[in-house]
């Protein structure tokens, strides 16, 4: 088992579509083990294979702190119900959070680690995580779902809503300086690239522009 470095936005692999797993062989089992270890090290909720640079349709999710991390192979959302707004972050955007639109519940099908076909219906955090992680496998990121909201907490810098290249509103808040990055998970180049990309995309708002 080993921890794999997590790619940060705007690494191009995060925008690629992952390929279906044909057979759950040793390579896939190793990937799953490493992804679980990486997710644990990151204290995260979910991780998609794209985020560790592997374009295979594999995600791992920790449903609750008491439960085990579960692997979902070739997962697909089959049904979505309702709409809600939730706060969300992503291990490829360490230090940033935003408010996104998500479904209230989702039904999904996937293969478990032994290749068994499973169908589930989930709500709450698991529904959110399934939507977020399956999006990753399709090259979609949580910033594509961010919703505009006028008021942000005083505790974090305020950023300007921005129309993203796929024509949705983007509004990211965060304070990189307050976050210590785990060197086992992130390279300083990756962290710098992330900040630069968000600046360049004008997703982040400068402090002096807050009131304009």
Catalytic (active-site) positions:
133
Total site size for Zn ion, rule CB under 5 A: 1
Residue 122 makes contact with Zn ion by CB under 5 A: no
Instruction: Report DSSP state, residue 7.
Output: P
- Cβ(14)–Cβ(136) under 8 Å? yes
Phi and psi at 137, nearest 5°, equal -65, -20
CB of 30 to Zn ion, least distance (A): 21
CA dihedral 135, 42, 62, 52 (to 10 degrees): 40
Where in 76-95 is the site for Zn ion (CB under 5 A)? 90
Q: How far is the CB of 85 from Zn ion (least distance, A)?
A: 18
Considering the rule CB under 5 A, would residue 194 count as an interface residue with Zn ion?
no
In angstroms, what is the minimal distance from the CB of 25 to Zn ion? 26
- Choose between 90 and 134: whose C-beta lies nearer to Zn ion: 90
**Would you say 90 or 204 has its CB closer to Zn ion?**
90
> Closest approach of Cβ 89 to Zn ion, in Å?
8
Residue 130 interacts with Zn ion (CB under 5 A): yes or no: no
Q: What are phi and psi of 98, to 5 degrees?
A: -150, 170
| Dihedral (Cα; 127, 132, 137, 142), 10-degree rounding | 160
Q: Is 170 in the site for Zn ion (CB under 5 A)?
A: no
* Distance between CA atoms of residues 129 and 178, nearest Å: 25
x/- letters, 21..40, toward Zn ion (CB under 5 A): --------------------
Residue with Cβ nearer Zn ion (28 or 39): 39
Q: Closest CB to Zn ion among 23 and 75?
A: 75
Q: Does 18 bind Zn ion (CB under 5 A)?
A: no
CB atoms within 10 A of CB 5: 15
Give the DSSP letter string of 146-176: B---S---TTS-----EE-TTS-EE--EE-G
Residues that bind Zn ion (CB under 5 A): 90
């Amino acid at each position: 088992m080993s921890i794999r470095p997590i790619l940060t936005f705007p690494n191009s692999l995060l925008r690629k579509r992952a390929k279906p797993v044909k057979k759950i062989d040793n390579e896939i089992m190793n990937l799953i083990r490493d992804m679980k270890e990486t997710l644990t090290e990151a204290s995260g909720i979910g991780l998609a294979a794209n985020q560790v640079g592997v374009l295979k349709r594999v995600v791992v999710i920790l449903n609750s702190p008491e439960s085990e991390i579960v692997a979902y192979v070739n997962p697909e959302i089959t049904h979505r119900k309702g709409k809600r707004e939730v706060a969300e972050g992503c291990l490829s955007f360490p230090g940033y959070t935003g408010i996104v639109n998500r479904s209230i519940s989702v039904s999904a099908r996937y293969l478990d680690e032994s290749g068994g076909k499973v169908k589930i219906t989930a709500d709450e955090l698991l529904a959110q995580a399934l939507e977020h992680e399956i999006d990753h496998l399709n090259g979609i990121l949580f910033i594509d779902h961010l919703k505009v909201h006028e008021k942000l907490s005083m505790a974090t810098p305020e950023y300007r809503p921005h129309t993203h290249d796929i024509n949705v509103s983007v509004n990211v808040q965060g304070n990189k300086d307050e976050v210590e990055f785990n060197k086992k998970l992130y390279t300083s180049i990756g962290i710098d690239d992330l900040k630069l990309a968000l600046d360049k995309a004008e997703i982040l708002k400068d402090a002096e522009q807050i009131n304009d």
